Amino acid sequence: MLAGAAPEEAPPPLPWWRRFFRRAPREPLAAGTRPAARRRLRLRPLLPVLVVLLALLAWFGRDHIAGLFDSARDRTGEPEALHPVAVRASSEAPDHPAAHAFDGFSNRYWSPAATGSGAGEYLEVDFGDPVRLTHVLITPGVSVNQDEFLTQARPETMTLTLTGTDGTAQERTVSLRDEPGGQSFELGGTDVTSVRLTTDTAHGARDDTRLAIAEVELFGRR
């Protein structure tokens, strides 16, 4: 340093983030030596293994993948009304057959033969071809009018049994509010050929009343 010259200022410290990601300085090489060649990961021998693993994942997860596609279509598509080719019931009261629950009129209803809660009594439908069943609309009671609605027993909880083409059955339990009008429930059944709606408990059941269901409507895709 020359006499009278101002001392040189030290460079400012690097920010912490640059110090964190800064590479460590390389060791100087001795004269006459060459830097060691870097090893490269060879992926070519691993490609067949990766292809086999991906194929196995796709095979074992095919049902889950199909379910994801069905769920996406359920949310974005417009479901259509699914009309069964056959309807039946465990029993029928006079003038209140099972067909009345599927005729599109809410002032006609199905009732079982016995009075009381109707526990164990059911309605059942068949489809001509397998369907994707997205949801069901159940109208409990004898009518959507409040004064008529309370005259007979109404389903409180029901078990819905969805039978597929391979004979396997899936069950859904739904709880209905004790109020007139249709109540919708999501189902999400695939390749469904028949549905049974079994009453478990009922609102307003007495010895002199019968269970009543005004309408059952099924929706999905063919």
Question: How much is the average pLDDT of 21-28?
Answer: 58
- For residue 48, give both structure tokens: 């067949």
Same domain, 137 and 68: no
The whole-chain average pLDDT of the chain stands at: 84
Residue 64 has φ and ψ, to the nearest 5°, of -65, -40
Lowest-pLDDT choice from 5-19, 62-76, 197-211: 62-76
Same domain, 65 and 89: no
**What is the total count of domains within the chain?**
2
Cα 202 to Cα 212: distance, rounded to the nearest angstrom: 10
Same domain, 133 and 210: yes
- In this predicted structure, what is the pLDDT of residue 66? 46
- For residue 3, give both structure tokens: 């006499």
Same domain, 51 and 122: no
Cα 204 to Cα 19: distance, rounded to the nearest angstrom: 76
Residue 208: domain span: 80-221
Is 160 strand, coil or helix? strand
Cα 198 to Cα 174: distance, rounded to the nearest angstrom: 10
Q: Give pTM, 2 decimals.
A: 0.68
Q: Is residue 12 part of a domain?
A: no
Q: Is residue 51 part of a domain?
A: yes
Same domain, 123 and 213: yes
Same domain, 107 and 161: yes
* Residue with the two structure tokens 């391979």: 166
pLDDT band at 222 (very low <50, low <70, confident <90, very high): confident
More confident call, 64 vs 185: 185
Q: Is residue 34 part of a domain?
A: no
